[in-house]
Structure 1
Amino acid sequence: MLKKVKHHSLKKHTEKNLTERDISQRNTSLKYLGFLVDEAFFDDFEMLYEFGRELGLQRKDVKLFTFVETRRKIPSLRQNQITNKEFTWRGEIHNQNAQEFLDFPFDVLIGFYKEKHRFLSAMVAQSKAKFKVGFNDADERLFDLLITVDLQQPEVFKSEVKKYLKIFKKID
């Protein structure tokens, strides 16, 4: 029962954030890159930092935030991680690091997850990123660009994203 209420609240928060989105800065060039990643699906984070370097960014200008369904019992020093338990039944996020990540005005935010994902979609909707990129069957209302690629093939992912960032004049 509580799970249904939480999912309904997430949906309402997502709808509200979609209507309040500021798209006036959508065409700025790439200086800061953010990734929202589903750890159940992908965990090669070094590849994402390397991709940022290939785009001409320094490591400090590439930020990564991940979602895991439930935290493992093993202690972790990772601070840029959120679980479904950190979303209240009202759909609000109770994770200071996540809030800071979402409030940062990334020039490009890449939602690195497949299909529709309630928690990550709510985070994408809440993000202050100027331009948002998603993949394969994601909610098209959340993203400025949807690309259909197999995210398990990093070279194809990289070349497609680069191609579109050049078309949109985000990179040279």
Structure 2
Amino acid sequence: MFKKIKQRSLEKQTEKHLEKRDDSQLNTPLKTIGFLIHEVHFKQGDLFYEFYKELTIQPKDIKVFSFLESKKKLPSLKQNQVYNKDFTWNGILQNQNAKEFLNTSFDVLVGYYKNSNPYLDYMVASSNAKFKVGLKNCNPDLYDLIIGVDIENIADFKTELIKYLIILKKI
């Protein structure tokens, strides 16, 4: 029962963030990029750090943050993870590292996950990113650009992302 309440609260919070979104800086050139991934579908988050070469930015300007449904029993030194337990029943995020990631004003934020996920959708909607990119089968209200590639094919995604960023004169 609490799971349903939490998900409905997250959906309401997502809608509120979408209503408040400022899209006046959509055309800002790319200097920083953030990736928000679901580790169940894509475990190789470190591959995103290699994008800096083609995006003509510094490696320090790429940030990757991941989401897991539940915390693993094994201790982890990763600071860039958020779990469903980090959200209260009324849809408030409690993870300080995740809040810092979302408050970062990325020029581009990529939501790299399959389908709709209330936790990740909330994070994308509440992000201060200027331009948001998602994958096919996601909520189109959250993103400015949706790329239609399979999540397992990172090479095709990289090619398409760079192609569209060039077309949009971000790089």
For residues 69 and 155 of structure 2, the distance between their equivalents in structure 1, rounded to whole angstroms, comes to 27
Aligned partner of residue 63 in structure 1, secondary structure: strand
| Mapping for residues 19-38 of structure 1, pairs under 5 Å | 19-38=19-38
Q: How much has 1:88 moved relative to structure 2?
A: 0.3
For residues 45 and 5 of structure 1, the distance between their equivalents in structure 2, rounded to whole angstroms, comes to 30
TM-score (norm 1): 0.97
Q: How much has 1:47 moved relative to structure 2?
A: 1.3
- Matching residue's letter, 1:122: Y
For residues 92 and 164 of structure 1, the distance between their equivalents in structure 2, rounded to whole angstroms, comes to 34
Q: Where does residue 6 of structure 1 map in the other structure? A: 6
Q: How much has 1:52 moved relative to structure 2?
A: 2.6
- Matching residue's letter, 1:92: I
Q: Where does residue 170 of structure 2 map in the other structure? A: 170
Contact 1:33-1:52 within 8 A present in 2 as well: no
Q: Deviations over 1:36-55 (max 9, x none)?
A: 00000111122100013321
| Mapping for residues 16-165 of structure 1, pairs under 5 Å | 16-165=16-165
Q: How much has 1:32 moved relative to structure 2?
A: 0.3
For residues 135 and 157 of structure 2, the distance between their equivalents in structure 1, rounded to whole angstroms, comes to 10
For residues 71 and 57 of structure 1, the distance between their equivalents in structure 2, rounded to whole angstroms, comes to 33
Unaligned runs of 5+ in 2: none
TM-score (norm 2): 0.98
For residues 30 and 59 of structure 1, the distance between their equivalents in structure 2, rounded to whole angstroms, comes to 13
Aligned partner of residue 121 in structure 2, secondary structure: helix
Alignment size in residue pairs:
171
- Matching residue's letter, 1:74: L
Contact 2:54-2:162 within 8 A present in 1 as well: no
